[in-house]
């Protein structure tokens, strides 16, 4: 197998959660361009049509399923739908996530719980369901955040806790499944990428962070993060498991 062939996902099936907008759209399109058929999950099912069209435009097949990852039955139903349609699941991209920026003394318990339920518990339910169906050679990529590794100046206790927990979950599932089941489990820790979440920042915050903390002094391009995802999802990353790869323009080394 040549080096470039190792990046191919031809004949494989990938699930992407949070596929209705933002990075999830880029991930779905990138996986399809690499050769995978893609199963799309999101709460906003009506917005999945556009993502599905991007997948089918590459010549690959798409399946859209309304999914709230905070609900374990929804996660199982998404995997069941993938197996019924395609007969296999080779890649899981745990991308669904929400965030808040609330001072710790004022955060509502229900608000904190919802973030944990989606960002951490939802990734576990999805990994659990996929882990039962996946064959050796499969790959799970959890989308964590640099906020699981460092801080970014905003009061984001729930989000940071969920993303740090996801890094721990990645390590544990890797040690459980890499040898026994042949399933690699890794995480990406994105830095600043323009998304619906960055739209919530106060004016000037992103620019200040890019200038002060990001060595490359710019936000990331979604295609740069998708390229890192393809490395971990494909045979190119075949000897990589239990790792968290920061794609952050250098924030975590400052």
What are the backbone angles phi and psi of residue 151, rounded to the nearest 5°? -115, 165
Helix segments in 58-202, DSSP class H: 72-86, 109-116, 122-133, 157-177
- Residues serving a catalytic function are 159
Angle between helices 23-33 and 222-233 (to 10 degrees): 50
Does an H or E element contain 30, and which? helix 23-33
Nearest to 164 by CA among 177, 146, 152, 185: 146
User: Residue 225 and residue 195: Cα distance in Å, rounded?
Assistant: 13
The tokens of 206 are what? 């992103």
The tokens of 112 are what? 């904190």
Q: Which residues contact 63 (CB under 8 A, 6 or more apart)?
A: 37, 38, 39, 40, 52, 81, 82, 85, 86
Q: In 3-state terms, what secondary structure has residue 186? A: strand
């Amino acid at each position: 197998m040549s080096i470039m062939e190792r990046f191919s996902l031809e004949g494989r099936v990938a699930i992407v959660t949070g596929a209705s907008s933002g990075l999830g759209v880029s991930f779905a399109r990138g996986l399809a361009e690499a050769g995978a058929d893609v199963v799309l999950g999101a709460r906003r099912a009506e917005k999945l049509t556009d993502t599905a069209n991007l997948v089918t435009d590459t010549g690959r097949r798409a399946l859209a399923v309304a999914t709230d990852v905070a609900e374990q039955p929804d996660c199982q139903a998404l995997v069941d739908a993938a197996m019924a349609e395609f007969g296999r699941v080779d890649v899981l991209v745990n991308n669904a996530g929400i965030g808040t920026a609330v001072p710790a003394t004022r955060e509502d318990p229900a608000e904190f719980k919802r973030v944990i339920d989606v960002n951490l518990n939802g990734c576990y339910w999805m990994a659990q369901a996929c882990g039962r169906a996946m064959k050796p050679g499969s790959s799970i990529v959890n989308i964590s955040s640099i906020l699981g590794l460092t801080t970014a100046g905003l009061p984001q206790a729930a989000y940071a806790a969920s993303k740090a927990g996801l890094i721990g979950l990645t390590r544990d599932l890797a040690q459980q499944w890499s040898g026994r089941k042949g399933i690699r489990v890794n995480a990406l820790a994105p830095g600043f990428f323009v998304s619906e979440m960055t739209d919530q920042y106060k004016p000037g915050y992103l620019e200040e962070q890019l200038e002060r903390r990001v060595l490359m002094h710019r936000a990331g391009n979604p295609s740069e993060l998708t390229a890192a995802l393809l490395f971990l999802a494909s045979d190119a990353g075949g000897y990589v498991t239990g790792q968290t790869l920061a794609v952050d323009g250098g924030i975590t080394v400052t």
